[in-house]
Chain A
């Protein structure tokens, strides 16, 4: 499957012109995209990224959006995707934030240096006016030499004009970049776009060009030029940006807008911490309570338990002839532990889907409002002590909802080392909402002291495990460097579109994995492997001061975490035993779906180490608590 959208994706038609919307994050690309697109064609995810791009059909051309980037380079995942699309695109609509001209024109000039036919959409003209920023649009058009169309994407102003002027897209050759081209090998088979990135020391482009033409650089990958050139070129481009802005923009002293004041409040720990807690509390209430408990309960106990599962069981039983050799097949399809057509479907549609949708909605709202990067700033200090930086707050928040999903979001936390730490902590010490619901219910019956004790033990394990991972893993923590977009009210259509795209992506990745796992587990169960496992666990239950039946709980925990917690309700045990038991099942191995995702995202070795480590920590901590509490 091709991941760079191209014209040939359209059912056999002649390749159409590909227009890409390119611009910095939060400049209104998605809103413009929706305004220009006639119909959606395809959402694609680049391999190994969480970055999604949408391809649509518009009048006479194919339109693709790109992840936000401040320039064409390869500093992060989003930029690498944008770079690939820009190299393929026929025309670019460069969306520029009129309130941040000095920042955004760098990308504009870079696109023109690359020789890419460009039209500039000067967006957020309303906000610029409100900020008393006066822009000479014609002057900008003259200075750049390409069409510049003022737009207010959110109310559609200028969108028609933008489409009309699209055919005028051009790239006036600025000779200044060409002087650096002399540094490249004379016979290099690269176009102007690639040459520009090559002299800017972009490694990804160097690899691409080298792969295509092995004769250029024998074996050794890249560095066609002295990396210091990048800085010279960037400086030169910044000077040109400064000249243009001085000429065409006049501005009064900026006054603090409502968004800026809110941003100040969020970044001050004194006011920001309560705001952050309130926001997270709301998110948790909606997802953890309304969706994870009420909606999922209803779906599981009514829709699936009363209607779907009995119906499918009946249908399969009557469809399959009663032959002995078909028994295992029937077992795999409809067994009550993890039947492929019964419980597996129930997990995916009844549990995961509502949680996934709710989480993507919440994350989308936090992203679009600008709250998320500010949460990262607030938590950076604490997270940097355990080898992470503020960006890791996202998987941790998602993890309290569903660890399986959170494992996917660790892709955004930076280096390999940070992903490992984040994944390790998620698998070990973060209870998912389904499990937390049952645990809350059990502890509520015992009293508030036990609840705080439970939280305290978990936080302690979380902190200690983080410090231990930070000390033992090679390498160093990457510090936080994050642009803070303006705070603004998020647009529902945008959030819905993102949620739809991400949910679809999640399901296409998850369903085959979960189905395969269900088949394997069911076969093991059928062969009696699960029962013998239970017997072999008897010594372990004594270590943590629990009755032998606790092994049954743990077996359930191997498959799904909340099952383990729910299994605790049936045991006749003391409050202290309940407490220790709940700590053990929380620290115990991630559920089978999370494990599958961990192996997929990391690798088998990491997965196995984490799985074994969870046993050790769960029974180590549980045993310690049992001794302390005299069990």
Chain B
């Protein structure tokens, strides 16, 4: 079973592995979020997850995050 973006906790690093929505995947790719490790900055209870890569921060709503699979979740 793989982890999803709405399961990660603040401070962890991981890769975004599978983004089912084509347009969202293109947007994330463009911003560099699919190039490598991203960090979870905040996770608001039942709310959005905020991830960052190279100082760019992105807020992702809970329902969207639930569809994104992440890999190699390690404690920072």
Contact = CB atoms under 8 A, between A and B. Distances in A.
Contacts of B41: 264, 267
A384 B30 CA distance: 26
A482 interface: yes
A373 B58 CA distance: 10
Interface stretch (A115-123, A375-383, A534-542, A582-590): A375-383
A484 B47 contact: no
Contacts of A70: 27, 30-31
A123 to B, nearest CB: 15
B2 to A, nearest CB: 20
A263 B22 CA distance: 30
A547 interface: no
A234 interface: yes
Interface stretch (A171-179, A428-436, A473-481, A490-498): A473-481
Contacts of A242: 35
A70 B27 CA distance: 9
Nearest to B28: A481
Contact of A484 (B22, B24, B29, B57): B57
B60 interface: yes
Most chain B beta-carbon neighbours within 10 Å: one of A100, A227, A377: A377
Interface of A: 70-71, 73, 75, 99-100, 102-103, 106, 227, 230-231, 234-235, 238, 241-242, 254, 263-264, 267-269, 373, 376-378, 380-381, 384, 389-390, 477, 479-484
Q: Is the interface of B mostly helix, strand, loop or mixed?
A: mixed
B61 A100 contact: no
Nearest to B36: A242
A481 B24 contact: yes
Nearest to A268: B42
22 contacts: A70-B31, A102-B54, A103-B32, A106-B31, A231-B25, A231-B26, A238-B30, A264-B41, A264-B42, A373-B59, A376-B59, A377-B59, A378-B44, A384-B62, A389-B61, A479-B63, A481-B59, A482-B58, A482-B59, A483-B59, A484-B58, A484-B59
B63 A238 contact: no
B50 interface: yes
Contacts of B30: 70-71, 73, 106, 234, 238
Contacts of A106: 30-32
A75 B62 contact: no
Given A100-B55, A231-B25, A269-B45, A479 B50 contact: no
Contact of A103 (B48, B56, B61): B56
A12 to B, nearest CB: 41
A631 to B, nearest CB: 40
B74 interface: no
Contacts of B60: 479-481
Contacts of B65: 479
A476 to B, nearest CB: 9
A103 B23 contact: no
A480 B48 CA distance: 8
B64 interface: yes
A466 B48 CA distance: 20
B58 A481 contact: yes
A269 to B, nearest CB: 6
B26 A380 contact: no
Contacts of B55: 99-100, 254
B32 A241 contact: yes
A400 to B, nearest CB: 22
A467 B48 CA distance: 20
B54 to A, nearest CB: 5
A483 B54 contact: no
Nearest to B34: A238
A267 B52 CA distance: 13
Contacts of B61: 380, 384, 389-390, 479-481
Given A73-B26, A75-B23, A390-B48, 11 more contacts: A102-B54, A106-B32, A231-B25, A238-B29, A380-B62, A381-B44, A389-B61, A479-B64, A481-B58, A484-B57, A484-B59
A125 to B, nearest CB: 15
A137 B13 CA distance: 31
B41 to A, nearest CB: 7
Nearest to A483: B58
Nearest to A385: B46
Nearest to A230: B26
A100 B25 CA distance: 20
Contacts of A381: 44-48, 62
B53 to A, nearest CB: 8
Contacts of B48: 377, 380-381, 390, 480
Contacts of B47: 269, 377-378, 380-381
A227 B58 CA distance: 25
B59 A238 contact: no
B32 A481 contact: no
B58 A269 contact: no
Nearest to A254: B55
A146 to B, nearest CB: 20
Nearest to B56: A103
A380 B64 CA distance: 12
Given A227-B22, A390-B61, A481-B64, A102 B29 contact: no
